[in-house]
Amino acid sequence: MNMESAISPPMNPFVIHPAVIKEKRQEAPEIVTFRLQLEDPAIRKQFRFEPGQFNMVYAFGVGEVAISIVSDPDHPRELDHTIRIVGRTTDVIGRMQPGDRLGIRGPFGKGWPMEEAKGSDILIVTGGLGCAPVVGAIEYIFRRRENYGMMNILHGVKAPHDLLYRERFDAWRAHPRTHVWLTSDEPGKTWHYHVGVVTELFDRVQFDPNHTFVMMCGPEIMMRVASHLLSQRGLTPDRMYVSLERHMACGIGLCGHCQLGPYFICKDGPVMRLDRILPWLGKSGI
Ligand SMILES: Cc1cc2nc3c(=O)[nH]c(=O)nc-3n(C[C@H](O)[C@H](O)[C@H](O)COP(=O)(O)OP(=O)(O)OC[C@H]3O[C@@H](n4cnc5c(N)ncnc54)[C@H](O)[C@@H]3O)c2cc1C
Ligand code: FES
């Protein structure tokens, strides 16, 4: 956390702040990234977030959805959100254009253990749009590269056309002490990387289990399998963190919509240490 964030008063979690869409980028047919700017300069100054936190994004008169913040925590005056159009609210948001306004409540939840992971190697494992919550963490590490060891980024998609952030992966790959490993479940004519599920990449990656922190995000069944395989390689659950998704409404532990076992994912998560959440990971109906 930087000094400015340490002295900023907390945001009121009940108040929706208008934000204007400054840029819109079509990542894939059903996925857009918006760059937002909070309209009120005082709120813009006050707004601070950590990698892995999320906002409740409100389409006025339609509905509110939980969306990870993917932008740089060092530049909180611009908020980037990558949104997959899946239903009623995201459908309306996805049709918005620069100049339109959305509402923002946040930031919410607990982010990645950036302080605790200092000095360690980092292993990032993501699937599909699951890479969105770790983008901020990766950028954070690159701006403080001397504080972290080797970084391996493993990312899997269903099909080659599902790969988002292509230029970001290329840029990350060019950094020293960084390896990027991509895989697709399905092959493709222009796909030059591995074909298969993301956990198949583990065999290619060298890491010291006592000196590595894992940050995982994606389908829960993938994270369950991945954590099992990484345990077999000697990684203990207290060094593995996952980011979870649940239906959300209040964002602050009041309504119970996001309950998973004894936890409210909005305030105890979305990033959780594996040993706390393992009994419930990948199980439906809880
Ligand atoms: C902490 C957190 C971070 C998230 N970050 C992102 C992000 O960065 N980008 C992004 O595109 N989406 C993200 N999501 C998911 C996003 O909140 C949902 O896709 C959105 O709420 C769907 O709203 P809708 O009204 O468009 O769809 P609805 O009409 O409400 O639902 C459409 C379908 O999606 C399912 N669904 C809705 N919400 C969720 C959910 N939270 N988890 C699983 N399934 C759901 C519904 O059951 C239904 O099948 C995140 C969710 C959480 C909890
Ligand atoms: S969203 Fe209301 S308790 Fe988590």
Q: What phi, psi does 233 have (nearest 5°)?
A: -90, 5
Considering the entire predicted model, what is its pTM? 0.92
Mean pLDDT is lowest, of 1-10, 168-177, 193-202, 216-225, for 1-10
Nearest CA residue ID for atom 3, ligand 2: 253
Q: Tell me yes or no: is domain 3-108 CATH 2.40.30.10.
A: yes
Q: Tell me how far the alpha carbon of residue 247 lies from the centroid of ligand 1, in angstroms.
A: 7
Separation of CA 268 and ligand 2 centre (Å): 10
One DSSP character per residue, 40-82 reads: SHHHHHH----TT-EEEEEETTTEEEEEE--S-TT-TTSEEEE
pLDDT band at 286 (very low <50, low <70, confident <90, very high): low
114-134 pLDDT, tens digit per residue, is 999 999 999 999 998 778 889
28 CB within 6 A, ligand 1:
no
Average pLDDT on 263-283 reads 91
SS3 183: strand
| Domain segments of the chain as ranges | 3-108, 121-280
Does ligand 2 lie within 6 Å of residue 253's CB atom?
yes
Which residue's C-alpha comes closest to atom 19 of ligand 1? 86
Considering the domain delimited by 121-280, tell me its CATH architecture.
3-Layer(aba) Sandwich (3.40)
Q: If pLDDT is split at 50, 70 and 90, which confidence band does 214 have?
A: very high
* Residue pLDDT, tens place only, 158-190: 999 888 888 889 999 999 999 999 999 999 998
CB of 246 shorter than 6 A to ligand 2: no
